[in-house]
Structure 1
């Protein structure tokens, strides 16, 4: 069968977490793995828009049971009971962005790296700003820990989920060696 015509099931669920003051957020997964984690302020329409922009012929299916393993691990992490994830991921992005996101996964719990460190880790030391852009476009925050990337001068810099969430995630991991200033979204 022509893969251009095949449909891709994307299962989604609304997740609640005390970490976010009991506000809910959406997650999505394909049969291959987790593909999207939204922030509490993001809407279902934004989830749907991301899915239709990144996945060919998606069929959205609300199925909390099917993606329960992802929900459980994210909730365990947000409750301070999990330090790493062992769930499959289905990343949608350019080759460069996926390389950056894979480098983010290698940052240990409770540690940070700078954008320059990530650029060096992927073998492209001049791509610091491109690394920042890829970091800001990370579709699987929390699990792919973009919050662990801070400025070379230890400032928080930008964060798609807002600096308040970035601080909370770093503090959850016991990391406090940052300068509490930066730009709210996607700047570095």
Structure 2
């Protein structure tokens, strides 16, 4: 019989992201953040390619990114309500970790598997932050898919993209529970 870890299972059954707009300072210090990043890096990684990397964005960097939103939105013709929401994502944050999808050439591991690994890193970082008692949220948004924002604002290489921004901080309010999937609608049992 397997050795259960009831505390871990209970955490996973009850975990809940915290809206980024409800997070504030204090944020994890560098030593604490290194522990969270270490946990995130222990993710499934076929071929040990490490097709991802982290960019830790502190307050000044987030403010700089927020200042890029309005000019970019004007160039792209983004609706005003989307502009303000995107700007607030960066301007109101005290700490976020950009998880960068940085695929490696491999005959054995297709890019899609590397992308799945990068998504697993995002979830692992989110869960590590929550398990450590911090509030955390995984966001992306239209700006994170723009090449100029990624390359000029974050220094990404041409082959890289943003898998997500993991916002981490102190939660100010506990969010209400939200509806969860109806498992009967999404599970198919196959026995033969």
Q: Is the helix fraction higher in 1 or 2?
A: 2
Is the shorter-chain TM-score for this pair beyond 0.5, marking a shared fold?
Answer: no
Determine which structure has more spread, i.e. the larger CA radius of gyration: 2
Whose relative contact order is higher, 1 or 2, with alpha carbons under 8 Å and at least 6 apart?
Answer: 2
Normalised to the residue count of structure 2, the TM-score between the two structures is 0.30
Normalised to the residue count of structure 1, the TM-score between the two structures is 0.30
